[in-house]
Amino acid sequence: MVQNNIRTGTIRALGAMSGTSLDGVDTAVVETDGHRIMGFGPTAYRAYSPQERTILQGALGQWSGSQVDAAQDLVTRAHAEALSAYEDVDLVGFHGQTLAHEPRGRGTLQVGDGEWLSQALGLPVVWDFRSDDVAMGGEGAPLAPFFHFACAKWIGADHPVCFLNLGGVGNLTYVDPTFDGPEEPGALLAFDTGPANAPVDDLMQARLGLPMDRDGRVARGGQVEAGALELFLAEPFFARMPPKSLDRNDFSEMIGLVRELGDSDAVATLTAMCAAGVAQGMEHCPKPPSRVLVTGGGRRNPVLMQMLSVSLDCPVEPVETVGLDGDMLEAQAFAYLAVRVARRLPTSCPGTTGVKALVGGGVLSSPVRNGT
């Protein structure tokens, strides 16, 4: 049952996110009533060890079995460790770790036991945010757009703005802040733009034993292979109208397109593919946005940011230029969404996931107190 202290007024919600880059757990506090952002609290990061990343990578794309069980245990305990460091919070939003995502097939799978986590933390925990949306015919992703709408209001935007998240997969949220609420038709459009950092990370690990192309150093020395880029953009995904979403491994064959290239040319081409997917996606915006605010690890890659600036017809800037934290925006989003779930407010709509009606997805687990 929802506790009284999380039903009304402004509360301190703690969100956690473990993304498709598999680097670690982001945690962040947001003060909100589920509509407006009143303030941002402390943040922290708990990295996965190389051994933990190996366990998670071994479970990607699987729906059941011993590797999934091992990933579930790891994700739950890593989050318990990260979240237990906080005090004076009222509610937790726990996304878990996405292992498989087939919204038009087997559904979506985020591992992590929110019920166990609630008992361990002694706090109500909202989790399994995506399943209800998929069950209602939606893509189940992206889910941050309702939070992006609140962010646009918080920064005082008065013209349409886009939030571009470049994690393992890229996703774009078009926000029109002239609307009163995110659920209003026309207020939001959101969709995955294509692969972002995941193919580059995978190639860097396989060829050079490095987790990423830090600061775009490898891509900077390469040339983009135009033929590979053309084949990439011919993928049917780009012809689909949004909303639409991807699994981390949906474009795993991209590595094959650059197999014959040297390291620098291969990484430069994969980086260009990310930028090209975003440029294609921008064509779906109802109106030209005033700016694109970039969040996620991709914003730290100057080569990728330069490619985006050249490709798009508006300023492209990291979200820090408007006072937001690009490392923690997704963790903050799930703190915000947890409050909406607890208050039975929608968390997705036809414009964000293609769901047939407004959905407030998520399971609320409350700790057992005094043996009851």
Burial class (CB in 10 A: 0-12, 13-18, 19+), 207: middle
- Residue 299, domain member (yes or no): yes
Tokens read off for 320 = 């820090």
Q: How many domains does the chain fold into?
A: 2
Model confidence at 20: pLDDT above 90: no
* Residue 334 and residue 318 in one domain: no
For residue 212, being part of any structural domain is answered with: yes
CB 123 within 8 A of CB 92: yes
The 3 state secondary structure assigned to the chain is CCCHHHCCCCEEEEEEEECCCCCEEEEEEEEECCCCEEEEEEEEEEECCHHHHHHHHHHCCCCCCHHHHHHHHHHHHHHHHHHCCCCCCCEEEEEEEEEEEECCCCEEEEECCHHHHHHHHCCCEEECCCHHHHHCCCCCCCCCHHHHHHHHHHCCCCCCEEEEEECCEEEEEEECCCCCCCCCCCCEEEEEEEECHHHHHHHHHHHHCCCCCHHHHHHHCCCCCHHHHHHHHCCHHHHCCCCCCCCCCCCCCHHHHCCCCCHHHHHHHHHHHHHHHHHHHHCCCCCCCCCEEEECHHHHCHHHHHHHHHHCCCCEEEHHHHCCCCCCHHHHHHHHHHHHHHCCCCCECHHHHCCCCCECCCEEECCCCCCC
Q: Are 263 and 220 in contact (CB under 8 A)?
A: no
Same-domain pairing of 172 and 130: no
Judged against a pLDDT cut of 70, whether residue 15 lies above it is answered with yes
| 272 belongs to a structural domain | yes
Domain range for 110 is: 4-138+330-365
**128 shares a domain with 219:** no
The pLDDT mean for the chain works out to 94
Say whether both 48 and 114 belong to one domain. Answer: yes
In one letter, which amino acid is 125?
V
Q: Are residues 224 and 162 in the same domain?
A: yes
What is the rounded average pLDDT of the residues 328-354? Answer: 96
C-alpha to C-alpha distance for 312 and 107, rounded to whole angstroms: 33
Q: Does residue 372 have a pLDDT over 60?
A: no
pLDDT in tens, 184-242: 999 999 999 999 999 999 999 999 999 999 999 999 999 999 999 999 999 999 999 99
- Per-residue confidence (pLDDT) for residue 250, from 0 to 100: 81
> Which residue in this structure is represented by tokens 């189940």?
140
Q: For residue 352, which of 364, 340, 342 has the smallest C-alpha distance?
A: 340
Q: Each residue of 288-301: pLDDT tens digit?
A: 999 999 999 999 99
- In this prediction, residue 2 carries a pLDDT of 42
Are 126 and 172 within one domain? Answer: no
Q: Please report the pLDDT score of residue 370 as a whole number.
A: 59
Cβ atoms within 10 Å, residue 260? 10
284 part of a folded domain? yes
Q: How confident is the model at residue 3 (pLDDT cuts 50, 70, 90)?
A: very low
Distance of CA 134 to the CA centre of its chain: 16
Residue 151 inside a domain? The answer is: no
* pLDDT tens by residue, 296-327: 999 999 999 999 999 999 999 999 999 999 99
Q: What is the mean pLDDT of residues 46-75?
A: 96
Whether 100 and 240 map to the same domain: the answer is no
Which tokens go with 153? 């209001």
Same domain? For 308 and 167 the reply is yes
- For residue 4, the model assigns a pLDDT of 43
The whole-number average pLDDT for the span 19-47 is: 95
CATH number of the domain that 96 lies in?
3.30.420.40
pLDDT band per the 50, 70, 90 thresholds, residue 369: confident
- CA-CA distance, 166 to 183, in Å (whole number)? 24
Paired with 16 in beta bridges are 27, 94
Q: What is the pLDDT of residues 87-117, one digit of tens each?
A: 999 999 999 999 999 988 899 999 999 999 9
How buried is 129 (Cβ within 10 angstroms: 0-12 exposed, 13-18 middle, 19+ buried)?
Answer: buried
Quick check: 247 pLDDT over 90?
no
Within this chain, do residues 250 and 356 fall inside the same structural domain, yes or no? no
User: What number of residues does the chain have?
Assistant: 372
pLDDT digits (tens, 9 = 90+) for 115-170: 999 999 999 999 999 999 999 999 998 999 999 999 999 999 999 999 999 988 99
